[in-house]
């Protein structure tokens, strides 16, 4: 985890450094200096990093707590029936196969067939399944879904998506403020602090860049789904996962709170949205990818 964090932060810094150099080569800083409106790139970078990564890491740190509150998931500490005993034993076996500590296992009340995994660390995670999934799938398919979620944990997908989100947040903050500064000082020629033009430009740029940046996060999320499907096939066999996905396609897609959609077994993208903004690939593509394994 720490190597991944260091790599993403180093990459983020390197890319922003390169882009800052490009801005200088293009003469943006010279134009600003000539207008008496230079910008402190280093201070802006620090601000962008703090706000870009801060919110993402805070969300990751409280992800298990939020997941339990938003879904009402009840962690199984002492199995009260045969199903709960089977769930615990299955996740424990799969976690051992995947080389991670056993996650907390929870069940939440929902008619939708869905499941999710979350947590700040791969060895301190939460795997939760809905009552709809337990009642609507045979055991071998439920086992495949559990293996999918355990693979998410073993692959460190929660941390990876958090880091990617932090990177794009940093870029959005960094460039929206450069655009706002340019509009306010160069185009509007405001010399007395920041005017309304700056704030309007920053808000507009942040909205536009944020939408573009979200497509990057969603693309990464879709790739992690393919990888988790493959992980399920490795832990539990290919056919049960294919059958589970086919059942999900025939049924009503499960819905999770927005913060958890990227970590569910299905959902995350709705038909009315473009493919670029889907957190999960279409189920037929996932099935085809499994058949090609």
Q: Catalytic residues, which ones?
A: 149
What lies within 8 Å, CB to CB, of 50 at 6+ separation is none
CB of 137 closer than 8 Å to CB of 169: no
Q: Can you tell me the distance from the alpha carbon of 121 to that of 168, in angstroms, rounded to the nearest whole number?
A: 21
Residue in the block written with tokens 């959609």: 261
Q: What is the DSSP letter of 101?
A: P
Q: How far is CA 270 from CA 233, 258, 266, in A?
A: 26, 12, 11
Q: Can you tell me the distance from the alpha carbon of 186 to that of 28, in angstroms, rounded to the nearest whole number?
A: 10
Smallest CA-to-CA distance from 262 within 4, 67, 8, 12 is with: 67
CB of 148 closer than 8 Å to CB of 241: yes
CB atoms within 10 A of CB 43: 9
CB of 76 closer than 8 Å to CB of 84: yes
CB of 130 closer than 8 Å to CB of 114: yes
CB atoms within 10 A of CB 170: 25
Q: Can you tell me the distance from the alpha carbon of 122 to that of 120, in angstroms, rounded to the nearest whole number?
A: 7
Q: Can you tell me the distance from the alpha carbon of 256 to that of 190, in angstroms, rounded to the nearest whole number?
A: 46
């Amino acid at each position: 985890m720490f190597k991944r964090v260091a790599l993403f932060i180093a990459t983020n810094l390197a890319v922003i450094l390169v882009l800052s150099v490009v801005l200088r080569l293009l003469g943006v800083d010279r134009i600003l200096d000539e207008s008496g409106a230079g910008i402190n790139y280093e201070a802006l970078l620090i601000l962008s990093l703090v706000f870009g990564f801060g919110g993402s890491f805070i969300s990751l740190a409280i992800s298990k707590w939020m997941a339990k509150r938003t879904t009402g998931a009840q962690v199984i500490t002492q199995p009260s029936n045969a199903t709960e005993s089977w769930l615990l034993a299955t996740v424990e076996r799969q976690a051992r196969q995947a080389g991670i500590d056993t996650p907390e296992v929870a069940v939440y009340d929902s008619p939708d067939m869905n499941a999710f995994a979350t947590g700040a660390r791969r060895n301190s995670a939460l795997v939760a399944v809905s009552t709809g999934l337990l009642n609507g799938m045979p055991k071998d398919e439920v086992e495949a879904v559990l293996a999918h979620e355990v693979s998410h944990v073993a692959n460190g997908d929660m941390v990876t998506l958090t880091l990617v989100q932090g990177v794009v947040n940093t870029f959005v903050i960094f460039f929206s403020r450069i655009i706002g500064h340019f509009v306010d000082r160069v185009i509007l020629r405001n010399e007395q602090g920041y005017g309304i033009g700056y704030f309007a430009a920053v808000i507009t740029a942040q909205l536009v860049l944020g939408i573009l940046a979200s497509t990057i996060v969603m693309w990464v999320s879709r790739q992690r789904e393919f990888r988790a499907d493959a992980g399920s096939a490795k832990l539990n066999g290919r056919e049960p996962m294919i059958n589970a996905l086919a059942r999900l396609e025939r049924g009503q897609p499960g819905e999770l709170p927005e913060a958890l959609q990227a970590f569910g077994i299905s959902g995350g993208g709705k038909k009315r949205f473009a493919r670029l903004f889907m957190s999960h690939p279409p189920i037929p593509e996932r099935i085809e990818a499994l058949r090609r394994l």
